[in-house]
Structure 1
């Protein structure tokens, strides 16, 4: 993540939620900084580590780390849902379709990509359906649809690794919606 994006997120969270401000704690010492709280959360999300795994690096207890994670996620949704976490509007679709047509791909709303992500802690009972044959490891599939400007319009995480990418594409909610709309007229 670029530094200016991270600092914008920290600033937005600090101005909208008192939890992300630095205050004096019960022992009359400075509390945890907003940078430390957001860094902790971002490390957990980026590396998929447990709350107590960031304790040695940032010196925050696991209960505080979990509170940071919860408030961070709720804050991101509250702050950015209307702009970044929304379905495409009719204007968005028209703009995307126009750019795609100009580039020689009429009717294309985005590129879809699927990736298999290793699931180290997959429950034993589920391993059979999530084992990827060519790798011999348990995986889940992340599928995403992005437009030419890298705006992600759809993301789905969780298909069993035994499904090949063609099966995932056939079940994609965005593609099903798009096909329904095209069939209607």
Structure 2
């Protein structure tokens, strides 16, 4: 995620979601900053790490990190859901079909792709279930993305549940 996008998210959350506002406690000490809380949430979500893994880096405990993730997800849905977490409208589909036709792909609204991502923190008990030929655990990302990188559909799942042929039929 680029810095300007991250800072835009931090700014919106700190201005519009009470949990992300920096406050003073009874002794007059400042609480965690919105930047600390958002960084904790993004690190836990992006790396799939445990909530207590951000303790050394950001100086907040596991319970606080879990609250940061919970409030972060709720805040993102509240602030950005209507614009970014929605189904395409008929006007969107017409625009996408037009752009596809202009680019030489009539009838195409986006590009679908499936890829395997190595899962570094896969629980030991699940390693064989999530491994393919390489022997390393992976998770599949299926995504429909447009020319401008707008993602209309994304799905994570275990390997061998999806492949390019199945994705194209869906």
Q: Give yes or no for TM over 0.5.
A: yes
Match of 1:96 in 2: 96
Match of 1:169 in 2: 167
In 2, the alpha carbon distance for the partners of 1:23 and 1:5 equals 24
How far does the alpha carbon of each residue in 1:78-98 deviate from its partner, in whole angstroms, 9 at most, with x for none?
111110011111110110110
Per the TM alignment, residue 154 of structure 1 is displaced from its structure 2 partner at its CA by: 0.4
Match of 1:80 in 2: 80
Per the TM alignment, residue 169 of structure 1 is displaced from its structure 2 partner at its CA by: 0.8
Give aligned pairs, total: 169
Q: Is the Cα contact below 8 Å between 1:122 and 1:138 reproduced in 2?
A: no
2:140 aligned counterpart, secondary structure: strand
Match of 2:9 in 1: 9
In 2, the alpha carbon distance for the partners of 1:154 and 1:162 equals 19
Match of 1:46 in 2: 46
How far does the alpha carbon of each residue in 1:133-160 deviate from its partner, in whole angstroms, 9 at most, with x for none?
2x112222110001111110000111x3
Per the TM alignment, residue 111 of structure 1 is displaced from its structure 2 partner at its CA by: 0.6
Matched, 1:61 2:61: yes
Q: Which runs of at least 4 in structure 1 moved beyond 4 Å after TM superposition? A: 126-129
Bigger proportion of residues as helix? 1
Q: Is the Cα contact below 8 Å between 1:54 and 1:60 reproduced in 2?
A: yes
Please identify, of 92-101 and 9-18, the stretch whose mean Cα deviation from structure 2 is larger: 9-18
In 1, the alpha carbon distance for the partners of 2:47 and 2:128 equals 25
Q: TM-score scaled by structure 2?
A: 0.90
